[in-house]
Amino acid sequence: MEENLHRVSRSPDVGTHNQNDSVAEDNRRRRHYNHHTHGVQAKDSADWNAVDDLDFEILNFHSSPSNADDDMDFEIVNFHSSPSSPSPVVTNDEPLRLPIPMLGLGVPNEQLFVTQRSLPELARGPPYFYYENVVLAPWETISRHLYDVAPEFVDSSFICAAARERGYVHNLPISNRYLIQPPPKHTIQEVLPLTKNWWPTWDTRTKLNCIFTVNASSQLTNRIRSALEASRGEPPEEIKRYVIEQCKKWNLIWVGQNKAVPLEVNEIETLMGFPIYHTRGGGGISRAERLKSLSNSFQVDTLAYHLSVLKPLFPDGINVLSLFTGIGGGEMALHRLQIPMKTVVSVEFSQANKYILRDFWERTNQKGVLIEFEDVQDLTKDIIVELMKQFGGFDIVIGGSPCNNLAGGNRVTPNGLEGEQSLMFYEYCRVLNVVRQTAKEMRRS
């Protein structure tokens, strides 16, 4: 398989090691990074962004709500790349630091804004790429395979009512981003107003945790209700602690007196930025499949915020290569941004997800062409080149590769980036390289 080439070229020792060694290596590296996480976080993340020697301007806004125009007190901080790391390239020894809070290059209504960044030469210019994965992925390796572009780490709880910590590696412009309207509600109680009637005062949650594939059982709801009914009035601290713990663990919401239940499918659809019934796909898709597909999806508002910079660049529409499409979070973002999709070439293994995307495509009366592939390995170099000649090239390659072997919940096959599903990352790289290389050749001729 071709991704072996990537793996062998990754570093001299990996090809001969088994998976456990590779995981151990990643763990060792992560511990090493963790050692460096103390200190000024903003500076750290800026340094990691500083893949060449240009400085960064970070604006910290402290605007007072009364007279925001006059009283705007902002400081411009110039961070220089550390003299101890003269190499402009992200290497194994370069520490990975997660920004705290996880605001990426800035999100609406928050104080941190990075107004410009410099990309490595190889990463600059179209076609654009946008790659996503979980925050605990081995980003130093991922970044190295994506032209050394530093990931943008964003927690979607700054944009919607559910947490979703993700890293996004992309070469998009970053100025003049905007949210699609209407902006998502920021709290659980706003998104699900009926819960307000039943939400106990001692449950102080306003945000949901990350949405997973696993679902709480109805037994748990019964256990919680029994525990609360046993005490009339204010429950004792011990009961409260137990209930809160379970609510957080299973993302429960209050829908009745002492009734804490798991989220319904259409509630998750709303939280993830999809219209309700998006994953119904015209029927025939089980509830379990819908929940799983949703938990694996993009948060659409977050994605659209990043992609919004494309709107003025492609007034006539855009050609999209969508890898690991899933339920079409990228397509939904572009659709809600009203960026016409002239062509979408989609790669998706799951039959249910293909139904969902096809149903979305038809239901929203898309004028463009939708071409589907099942296996990313069918997207050979020849086929990619042929598609590009047919449509005049792709404008963006978008996708989040599988995280099964990287996710914290996986206790069976936590094999890291070389795991059976997660190594699909290297296929994203392969395809992206072909697309960017071919685009370069097409421009020359």
* Cβ at position 336, least distance to DNA in Å: 19
Element (H, E) at 139: helix 139-145
The set of residues, in sequence order, having a beta carbon less than 8 Å from that of 57 and lying 6+ positions away, is: 76, 77, 78, 114, 115, 116
Which one of the spans 115-123, 304-312, 334-342, 405-413 is the region binding DNA (CB under 7 A)? 405-413
Contact characters 355-394, DNA, x per CB under 7 A:
----------------------------------------
- Pick the closer one to DNA by CB: 413 or 437: 413
- Interacting span for DNA (CB under 7 A) from 145-153, 271-279, 302-310, 404-412: 404-412
Q: Residue 353 Cβ, how far from DNA at the closest point, in Å?
A: 12
Sheet (strand 56-62) strand order = 73-79, 56-62, 112-114
Neighbours of 205 (CB within 10 A): 18
> What kind and span of H or E run contains 5?
helix 3-10
Is 166 a binder of DNA (CB under 7 A)? yes
Q: Is residue 400 at the binding interface for DNA, with CB under 7 A as the rule? A: yes
Confirm or reject binding of residue 409 to DNA (CB under 7 A).
yes
Structure tokens at 153: 């780490």
CB of 299 to DNA, least distance (A): 9
Give the strand pairing for 396-400 and 128-134.
parallel
Minimum Å gap between C-beta 288 and DNA is: 4
132 binds DNA (CB under 7 A): yes
Q: Where are the alpha helices (DSSP H) in 146-236?
A: 188-191, 218-229
Quote the CA–CA distance of 298 and 173 in Å, as a whole number: 20
**Taking CB under 7 A as the criterion, which residues in 273-302 touch DNA?**
286-289, 295-296
Which 197-256 positions form the footprint of DNA (CB under 7 A)? Answer: 209-210, 212-215, 217-220, 245, 248-249
Question: 57: phi > 0 → left, psi -120 to 50 → alpha, else beta; which?
Answer: beta
* Rounded-to-integer distance, Cα 131 and Cα 425, Å: 9
Task: Give me the least distance between CB of 359 and DNA, in Å please.
Answer: 18
Is there binding between residue 165 and DNA (CB under 7 A)? yes
Contact at 8 Å (CB) between 387 and 371? Answer: yes
Compute how many residues bind DNA; rule: CB under 7 A. 54
Q: How far is the CB of 244 from DNA (least distance, A)?
A: 8
Minimum distance, C-beta of residue 187 to DNA, in the bound complex (Å): 16
Instruction: Please state the length of the chain.
Output: 445
For residue 100, CA distances in Å to 42, 97, 104, 185 come to: 8, 9, 9, 22
Task: Kindly provide the residue ranges of all beta strands, DSSP E only, lying in 316-440, ordered along the sequence.
Answer: 318-323, 341-347, 369-373, 396-400
In terms of CB distance, is 81 or 350 closer to DNA? 350
Nearer to DNA, 82 or 413 (CB): 413
Q: Say whether residue 59 binds DNA (CB under 7 A).
A: no
Q: Is 40 in the site for DNA (CB under 7 A)?
A: no
- Pick one of 6, 117, 144, 164: the residue that binds DNA (CB under 7 A): 164
Touching DNA, residues 86-115 (CB under 7 A): 97-98, 100
Task: Tell me which H or E stretch contains 114.
Answer: strand 112-114
Q: Which is nearer to DNA, 118 or 246 (CB)?
A: 246
- Name residues whose C-beta falls within 8 Å of residue 415's C-beta, 6 or more positions apart in sequence: 19, 22, 23, 405, 422
Interaxial angle between packed helices 424-444 and 381-391, expressed in degrees from 0 to 180 and rounded to the nearest 10: 50
The residue among 119 and 323 lying less far from DNA, judged by its C-beta, is: 323
Q: CA 95 to CA 155: how far, in whole Å?
A: 20
Q: Which spans of this chain sit near DNA (rule: CB under 7 A)?
A: 27, 30-31, 33-34, 37, 41, 97-98, 100, 132-136, 163-166, 209-210, 212-215, 217-220, 245, 248-249, 286-289, 295-296, 324, 400-404, 406-414, 421
